Amino acid sequence: MSDTTPSTRASDAIVQSSIDPVVLAQALIRCPSVTPADAGTLDALTQALAPVGFACRRMPFEAPGTARIDNLYARLAGKQPGRHFSFAGHSDVVPVGKREGWSVDPFAAEIIDGRLYGRGAADMKGAIAAFAGAAARFVAKRNGDFAGAISLLIAGDEEGPSVNGTDPMLRALAAEGERFDACLVGEPTNPKRLGEMAKIGRRGSWTGYLTVKGVQGHIAYPHLADNPTHRLARMIVALIETPLDSGTAHFEPSTLQVSTVDVGNPATNVIPAEARASFNSRFNDSFTLQTLEAEVRRRLDSVGGDYELSAQYHGVSFVTPPGPLSALVSDAVKAVTGLTPELSTTGGTSDARFIKDYCPVIEFGLLGATMHKVDENVAITDILQLSDIYERILESYFNAKLD
């Protein structure tokens, strides 16, 4: 896909030169886009981006056994061909939980005492709006005169199974010849203050489902049975007693946490036939999916006995080592906030795990303190400052050469 495609050139009749990021954030929040619903979010975003000059394209996907998901790819090219900077995010949000627990309507997008309330304010409609505003200002100031392209890659199922969003979008676009040179994901990365932290990688996530087999029997005659619960307890100790590793250059030590232990035995005088446990590991770049599973099986085998282990993989660990992109982002953050962000790999997974296969990727967004919580909210000043940071990033990116 060429940067000179007529329908995606910034010089094509730009009708509007500005997007108010706060107003747009309110419009997006007022669309109750709980996964897998879109609820008009992508329409609202398209209505803001199209007058600026973005060519907006819906990209729906529906893997077998899943709900159809609408995604949006919006692209704007400058007057000369060049590098492609993409902003990635997700328009879907998690459920509100108990609505009566909210002090405001979670989809009214009210502003109270300088804070914008609503589901998705932090995670991550506020950041999408901030980038849209930044891109509009950047293009207007230059009258579309820059070398390259800017795009928004907006998925609709990041909070769900993540099978019909960013991953298939990237594969489809790559098959068409689209190339990405750098990407910023607008996930909420800051713990307490805007500017504290950017993410240059993420740990992998691996869930194990363990079933330990035994022999049912009378609890008064244990020698005639084989209690799987006792063996399961020893297996859990084997899994957690010794750390998986001591951390690496960019990652904290890998962790393994047991989430459930189940026997399902209502009788106090019966030794059960099976005992089950589930556990999740957030692992660093010491492991691959294969070597992590091998280590788990080695520890289980050290206890012995009959067991079954199945696994679900949610993502591998990755890191974009500190370099030109992280320096560019850090400089923009410091210029606006006065803070130099820590380059971190903490937290859960994000769609950056898909993007890292196509180009260098970094994450920087709003504060995450209230994401997924009742009364999710962000400061209006943070949205505006974030938009200023994103604009500086675009200015620097299209002014400098990133090797």
Q: What are the residue numbers of the active site?
A: 92, 158
Closest CA to 128 of 197, 61, 49: 49
Question: 3-state SS string over the chain?
Answer: CCCCCHHHECCCCCCCCCCCHHHHHHHHHCCCCECCCCCCHHHHHHHHHHHHCCEEEECCECCCCCCCECCEEEEEECCEEEEEEEEEEECCECCCCCHHHCCCCCCCCCEECCEEECCCHHHHHHHHHHHHHHHHHHHHHHCCCCEEEEEEEEECCCCCCCCCCHHHHHHHHHHCCCCCCEEEECCCCECCCCCCEEECEECEEEEEEEEEECECEECCCHHHCECHHHHHHHHHHHHHCCCCCCCCCCCCCCEEEEEEEECCCCCCCEECCEEEEEEEEEECCCCCHHHHHHHHHHHHHHHCCCEEEEEEEEECCEECCCCHHHHHHHHHHHHHHCCCCEEECCCCCCCHHHHCCCCCEEECCCECCCCCCCCCEEEHHHHHHHHHHHHHHHHHHHHCCCC
